[in-house]
Chains A and B, each alone.
Chain A
Amino acid sequence: MSTRLSELMDCFQGVVPTGIATCSLDGRPNVTFLSYVKYLDERHVALSCQFFNKTKRNIAENPVAAIWLMHPVTLEAHRVVIRFLHSEFKGPLFDEMALRIDVIASHTGMSGVFKLLSADIYEVLEIEPVEGHVLPDAEAAEALAAPPVAFRAKGTRGELAALQALSDRISRAECLERLIEALLDSTTELFEVQHAMVLLYDETRARLYTLDSRGYGRGGSGAEVGLGEGLIGAVARSRKPLRVSHAGSDLRYGRAIRRGVEGSKEADKLSREIPLPGLHDAQSQLVLPLVAREKLVGVLALESRDPLKFSDWHEAFLNVAANQAALAIANLQEQEEPEDARPAGESQRLKPLAGRKRAFTFYPQDDAVFVDGQYLIRNLPGRILWKILREFVSGKRHEFTNRELRMDNALGLPPLKDNLESRLILLRKRLEEKCPDVRMVPVRRGAFALESDSELTLSESAQP
């Protein structure tokens, strides 16, 4: 074989469909389109089997097949002859291929119905370039996916320098908020990715919540995804990275938030849904789990309108960054920040500006807080906000410490790994986005002051 299979790596991303021809023993050919061929090594590929179809029956009789692979950018084609070897029904390869199917199933409401039956392994017998399939174009090669600009001139040294810069920014971050910012800024700047978000994992609720993002405008913080839901949820559950090159209309993972918990037994867990910040027209996505010491910390999700934005190179490179970030996040979450010994109340309480008013409403059913009728936040950050708002409005105080929040049994923070800092970051961001005239301002280590330019009124309502 003069062409190496690895040279066709881009053809395996599923952007343009691959044709597969088989033949029954009575000599009748069959042809269909595949959405995904997985490269295994120079001599093997794997095809996913979801249904026992004619292709599968033909292969059982006559194990040779021909596939037509096209480059997703240039459309140059290769004819590849393969021979079926065996099927795998479990193991790492099966799990990896099943993850892609599970994501599609989750998005289309077919979980448990549409699933991987087997990962079918084929030996590659022949690779033949198809001459004449596309008209010559001298500039075509230049348009092939190239490494990001930051790395082009510098080669491998450039890659190392970029990794070093990213690593430095992550390790220098003195708090969780700066760390997440460093991760998102580095990712978007160095890899020329415009859309990125970090979701942290709330172990007690088995859900992920968006702590910060880039490229989605305001309003994305707090958006939630359940474990196993959509692309992000599937990556979180499997703890394996996943790259989707042809997102398509049925694979828009950003809208995978389900409408509460169904079934009468869990009706009390029903809660409002918040839209996830996702591109409605994303063409490629790369989602990396943030795992530290075998524990899921969160997820780094990137997306692009370019169907070939992410390659194996991005996946490998960013996985290194994600692993380092995960360890740093876990360390910051686990260490309880030392508090400044100075007593509270040294900062000055601001007076509201004349005529400005804000009405906050608390819904105890799901601990949701609304401001002027608009959803603001819920769950634990909702309870924290409601506590500090009540004490602020009653005139008792305007400064609060992390320690006292931890000691307040009514808030119900878990005794271990309470992730208080990430809840406070989320709360601060939601206020910045939805109600900027009410602010949480750090006054010293482990303490913050509530500031308001408006006169606040509070009410509680039993009806959601």
Chain B
Amino acid sequence: MIDETLADFLQSGLACAVATRDARLVPDCVLAAGVRIERDRKHATVFLHDTISRRTLANLKHNGQIAVTLEHLPNHHTIQLKGEVTRVSKATEADIADATRFHAGFVKEIEYVGVAPRFSRRLAFLPCHAVTFRVEAIFEQTPGPKAGACLKEAP
């Protein structure tokens, strides 16, 4: 589902936004530390900060529908993953190590767009939950006429 090149891009430390929705179809938006592409290349795990993601975690418990968009801010290259959650758990030590690495990448991204390090380093991402989802579709999301085009869909 996710080839090596795309996996490398998605795990390179990007700006990461997550969308969920509640029972009334009211959407919710939150920033996340990043995603890890699992070995089967069919699942991804996104790391959600416990405090700021309460609503997101509640939505996922209700219906499991998730969309994750990752953008490389310097050139706006953007990919969106959509799928259904298969597992939600407190982050393990290995998860925290991955989240820390992705978060450090995101900090570099926002420093690139002009945020001073004394503020970018204040961004919280721990403690966090690891939310694993089955990737059902991958979309091109780079701004432009092709934004929204489906790149791959799970069989």
Closest approach, in angstroms, between the C-beta of B28 and any C-beta of chain A? 5
Q: Which of the 9-residue segments B36-44, B61-69, B93-101 touches chain A?
A: B61-69
Q: Which residues of B contact A349 (CB under 8 A)?
A: none
> Which residue on B lies nearest to A25, using beta carbons?
B25
Q: Is B151 an interface residue (CB 8 A)?
A: no
Are B67 and A29 within 8 A (Cβ)?
yes
The complex places the Cα of A15 from the Cα of B73 at a distance, in Å, of 11
A33 touches B69 (CB 8 A): yes
A464 within 8 A of B: no
Contact (Cβ within 8 A) B25 A140: no
Q: How far is the CA of A46 from the CA of B49 in the complex (A)?
A: 29
Contact: A23 with B26, CB < 8 Å? Answer: yes
A66 CA to B18 CA in the complex, in Å?
11
Contact A74 B19 (CB under 8 A): no
Q: In the assembled complex, how far is the CB of residue B67 from the closest CB belonging to chain A, in whole angstroms?
A: 5
| Contact A22 B49, CB 8 Å, known A15-B115, A75-B122 | no
Q: Is B122 touching A135 in the complex (CB atoms < 8 A)?
A: yes
Flag if A28 contacts B82 (CB, 8 Å).
yes
Does B124 lie within 8 Å of A19, measured CB to CB?
no
- Interface contact B67-A28, CB-CB below 8 Å: yes
- Whether A68 contacts B29 by the Cβ 8 Å rule is yes
Whether, in the assembled complex, A352 has its beta carbon less than 8 Å from a beta carbon of chain B, the answer is no
A33 engages B17 (CB within 8 Å):
yes
Which A residues, 49 to 89, have Cβ-Cβ distances below 8 Å to chain B? 50-51, 53-54, 62, 64-68, 70, 72-75, 77, 79, 81
Give the Cβ gap from A29 to chain B, nearest Cβ, in Å.
4
Complex: A81 Cα to B66 Cα, angstroms: 18
Of B19, B68, B113, the contact of A246 (CB 8 Å cutoff)? B113
| Closest residue of B by beta carbon distance from A64 | B26
Task: Report the bound CA distance from A20 to B15 in whole Å.
Answer: 13
B147 with A132: CB separation less than 8 A: no
Tell me if B27 and A21 are in contact (CB < 8 A).
yes
A65 touches B52 (CB 8 A): no
A70 to B17, CA, bound (A): 12
- B29 and A19 contact, CB distance less than 8 A: yes
B151 → A minimal CB distance (Å): 13
Contact (Cβ within 8 A) A77 B52: yes
Chain A residues with CB under 8 Å of B21's CB are 21, 23, 27, 29
> Per a CB cutoff under 8 Å, which of B26, B80, B143 touches A31?
B80
- Contact of B17 with A81 in the complex, beta carbons under 8 Å: no
Contact indicator B73/A66 (Cβ below 8 Å): no
In the bound complex, what is the Cα–Cα distance between A50 and B27 (angstroms)?
22
A348, chain B: closest CB distance, angstroms: 57
Q: Among the listed A31, A53, A130, which residue makes an inter-chain contact with B52, where contact means beta carbons less than 8 Å apart? A: A130
B interface size (C-beta, 8 A): 45
A16 contacts chain B at the CB level, 8 A cutoff:
yes
Please tell me if the beta carbons of A29 and B20 are within 8 angstroms of each other in the complex: yes
Q: Does B92 contact A (CB under 8 A)?
A: no
* Docked pose: A291 CA to B115 CA in angstroms: 35
Residue contact A32 to B115, C-beta cutoff 8 Å? no
A134 in contact (CB, < 8 A): yes
Known contacts being A29-B65, A31-B69, A66-B26, is A51 close to B145, with CB within 8 Å?
Answer: yes
- Give the docked Cα–Cα distance between A140 and B66 (Å): 34
Q: Which one, A29, A54, A143, contacts B148 given CB within 8 A? A: A54
Q: Is the CB of B67 within 8 A of A21?
A: yes
Contacting pair B25 A19 (CB below 8 A): no
Decide yes or no whether B30 CB sits under 8 A from chain A.
yes
Known: A134-B122, A134-B124. A27 touches B147 (CB 8 A): no
Q: Does A419 contact B (CB under 8 A)?
A: no
Select from chain A the residue with minimum beta-carbon distance to B81: A31
B122 touches A19 (CB 8 A): no
Q: Is A307 an interface residue (CB 8 A)?
A: yes
Give complex CA distance A20, B144 in Å. 16
Task: Check if B123 is an interface residue, CB within 8 A of chain A.
Answer: yes
A283 within 8 A of B: yes
B155 interfacial contact with A, CB 8 Å:
no
| A116: min CB distance to chain B, Å | 13
Is A137 an interface position by the 8 A CB rule?
Answer: yes
Contact with B along A233-267 (1 / 0, CB 8 A): 00000000000001010000000000000000000
Contact across chains for B69 and A75 when beta carbons are under 8 A apart: no
What are the residues of chain B within 8 A of A374 when measuring CB–CB?
A: none
Is A364 in contact with chain B by the CB < 8 A criterion?
Answer: no
0/1 string, A261-285, CB within 8 A of B gives 1: 0000000000000000000000100
Tell me whether B115 and A19 are in contact (CB under 8 A).
no
Does A74 contact B73, Cβ atoms closer than 8 Å? no
Check B141 for interface membership: any CB of A closer than 8 A.
Answer: yes
Q: Give the complex CA separation of A15 and B115 in angstroms.
A: 8
Give the residue name and chain of the A residue nearest to B24 (CB): A64
Q: Is A17 an interface residue (CB 8 A)?
A: yes
Q: Which listed residue (A16, A27, A33, A81) contacts B25, Cβ 8 A?
A: A27
Q: Which 6 A-B pairs have the closest CB atoms?
A: A31-B19, A21-B19, A132-B51, A19-B17, A21-B29, A29-B19
Chain B residues in the interface with A (C-beta under 8 A): 15, 17-21, 25-31, 49, 51-52, 63, 65-69, 71, 73, 78, 80, 82, 110, 113-116, 118-120, 122-124, 139, 141, 143-145, 147-148
18 of the cross-chain contacts (CB-CB < 8 Å) are A19-B19, A20-B29, A21-B17, A23-B25, A27-B65, A31-B18, A32-B69, A51-B144, A53-B148, A62-B25, A68-B29, A70-B31, A73-B116, A75-B120, A77-B31, A81-B26, A137-B122, A307-B113
